[in-house]
């Protein structure tokens, strides 16, 4: 499975490097309405926007999964509780069966 990640990541990384080499000229970014401006290579501006979008999307997905994670935690706790109850009932049944067998013998 790890080789599949490398198989997909290698061409993407190669494309990013080629894009960065081909777009080294500078562009002026003005942060309106702020009075600041920056001169950056085009590849930094484009890749920066791409990374920003990925991070915002990842945070949005993480926040949207909060309810599912909470339900999963509650179900895990309930399953653990039911397993403990089952083990207690089984041990109680075994002890009753042992006492019954001792009386029968």
Structural domain boundaries enclosing 48: 19-64
* Total of domains in the chain: 2
Q: Print burial letters for 44-70: b (CB count within 10 Å at least 16), e (below 16).
A: bbbeeeeeeeeeeeeeeeeeeeeeeee
Interval 19-37 mean pLDDT: 89
The span from the first CA to the last CA of the chain, in angstroms, equals 60
Interval 44-68 mean pLDDT: 93
Q: Which two tokens stand for residue 73?
A: 């935690």
Same domain, 49 and 73: no
Same domain, 56 and 83: no
Identify whether 72 is part of a domain: yes
pLDDT at 98 over 80: no
Same domain, 26 and 52: yes
pLDDT at 104 over 70: no
Mean pLDDT of the chain, nearest integer: 90
Q: Which two tokens stand for residue 63?
A: 């926040």
Identify whether 7 is part of a domain: no
Dihedral Cα 91, 95, 101, 103, nearest 10 deg: -170
Per-residue pLDDT at 16: 87
Return the ∠ at Cα 48 (arms to 8 and 3), rounded to 5°: 15
Q: Which residue has the higher pLDDT, 98 or 78?
A: 78
Per-residue pLDDT at 26: 93
């Amino acid at each position: 499975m790890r080789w599949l990640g490398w198989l997909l990541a290698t061409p993407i990384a190669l494309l990013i490097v080629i894009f960065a080499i081909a777009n080294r000229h500078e562009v002026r970014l003005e942060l309106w309405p702020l009075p600041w401006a920056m001169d950056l290579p085009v590849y930094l501006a484009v890749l920066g926007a791409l990374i920003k979008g990925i991070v915002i999307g990842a945070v949005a997905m993480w926040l949207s999964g909060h309810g599912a994670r909470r339900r999963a935690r509650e179900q895990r706790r309930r399953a653990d509780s039911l397993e403990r109850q089952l083990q207690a009932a089984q041990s109680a049944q075994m002890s009753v069966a042992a006492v019954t067998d001792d009386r029968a013998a």
